[in-house]
Structure 1
Amino acid sequence: MSEQRTYIVLLGVPGAGKGTQAKLLEQALGLPQISTGDIFRYNLKHETELGKLAKSYMDRGDLVPDEVTIRMVEERLQQPDCARGAIMDGFPRNLVQAAAFDKMTAPYGGVKVAPLIQVDDEETIRRITGRRTCRTCGAVYHILYNPPKVAGVCDIDGGELYQREDDKEETVRNRLYVYYKQTAPLIGYYFAKGLLREIDGTQSIEEVQNALIAVIREAQPA
């Protein structure tokens, strides 16, 4: 077997704070945050072979097949910054991807822990629908948790704040539906492997981070 690596799979509904927590964990643990969104943008921007393949599906309005996403992730994990492992944010997204991820990480000890950041649906909807984005600089606010000094106006450049289509309630409810249909089965998958750890996502960002670090440290190989 090759050297041990630390692979962490963050689970949680859209808006649970996975991206925020993954960035903080990256700093705390020295492991890269691997986001499928970032990987797709990189491959599309640089017109890689996989990027062109993915674009061919997207241009037809089709979903990018699991095998393409899996290959993109596999290539990303071969980069030097992943030599000690990675924090997975948004991958695996379904059971097919989970099985493929197990296979690609098996030589390095496999997934160490799968923390589930628990947030109920109504809180999720409140978190996402409250977001407002500046049309000019892209800064993001929240009408409850991080409001601008003047309603509807960006603190940075005075630009107009608007609600993105992705942040509207109908879209959020559809994202939750897709999550429960495709991604929620991963909770049972990692529970059966003894890797699931539940974290209360309604705590402060710092409290959630401390809880995540605690379960990750506990799962680290001696």
Structure 2
Amino acid sequence: MATPETAPPEATATRGARLLIIGPPGAGKGTQAAKIAERYGVPAISTGDIFRANIKGGTELGTQVQQIIERGELVPDSLTNEIVADRLQQPDAAEGFLLDGYPRTVDQVAALDAMLAPVGAELDAVILIEADVDEVVARLLKRAELEGRADDTEAVIRHRQEVYAEQTAPLVALFSERGKLVTVDGLGTVDGVAERIASGLDAQLGR
């Protein structure tokens, strides 16, 4: 068993951080989120996963969310904020977390700020994964072909990329102003991107 003197640096120096990851569809955000959460010893919290788990489990929340989605509407901020606030109060998130899929709007950022304020905390860093649109579209088209997703046409995929860019632009500007943004090129091997993220985060967090 490793002692404090012999433990690898990342086992001691990188534990705990309050993080957010942002990236376009197809940029490998989910894969990198898992690696970041493991490296920092924090839970990866995806609002989408929480919604899907509740729908699958038939919970009261799941029923609410399913009805909203079936009506073709977006889950309201009030409900999403409530879910995230509850999740962040759980013991495993006490020393940090990695948020994925929330906050998506400036209003949600304000809500998150309010959640963290009572314990004198704030986001430590925001990882922005960037990727060339044409490269990502090509990647998603290939995946759609392999998985038989006939509805994932190039036009649909490009529209999703445009919606993402429009939605995240205000967040990117906000976190850049706060000095929290860590921008990383998301193209390349999984390990190569992970190394760039680790290097950027270490610099941001002073580790």
TM-score by length of 1: 0.77
**Match of 1:162?**
148
The percentage of aligned residue pairs carrying the same residue is 39
Contact 2:182 2:204 in 1 (8 A): no
Contact 1:39 1:73 in 2 (8 A): no
Q: How does 1:55-204 map to 2 (within 5 A)?
A: 55-106=66-117, 107-132=119-144, 161-163=147-149, 165=151, 167-204=152-189
Which residue identity does 1:46 align to in structure 2?
Answer: G
Kindly state the Cα deviation for residue 15 of structure 1 after the two structures are TM-superposed: 1.3
Contact 2:81 2:111 in 1 (8 A): yes
Query: What residue ranges of structure 1 are gaps of 5+ in the alignment?
Result: 134-140, 142-160
Residues 62/195 of structure 1: CA separation in 2 closer, same or farther (3 Å cut): same
Kindly state the Cα deviation for residue 221 of structure 1 after the two structures are TM-superposed: 6.9
More helix by share: 2
Kindly state the Cα deviation for residue 53 of structure 1 after the two structures are TM-superposed: 2.6
TM-score by length of 2: 0.82
Q: Distance in 1 between matches of 2:76 and 2:156?
A: 22
Kindly state the Cα deviation for residue 203 of structure 1 after the two structures are TM-superposed: 2.9
Contact 1:7 1:86 in 2 (8 A): yes
More strand by share: 1
Kindly state the Cα deviation for residue 195 of structure 1 after the two structures are TM-superposed: 0.5
* SS across alignment from 1:184: helix
Aligned residues: 191
Contact 2:25 2:160 in 1 (8 A): yes
Which residue identity does 2:55 align to in structure 1?
Answer: L
Contact 2:55 2:62 in 1 (8 A): yes
For the pair 1:18 / 2:29, whether they are aligned, the reply is yes
* SS across alignment from 1:209: helix
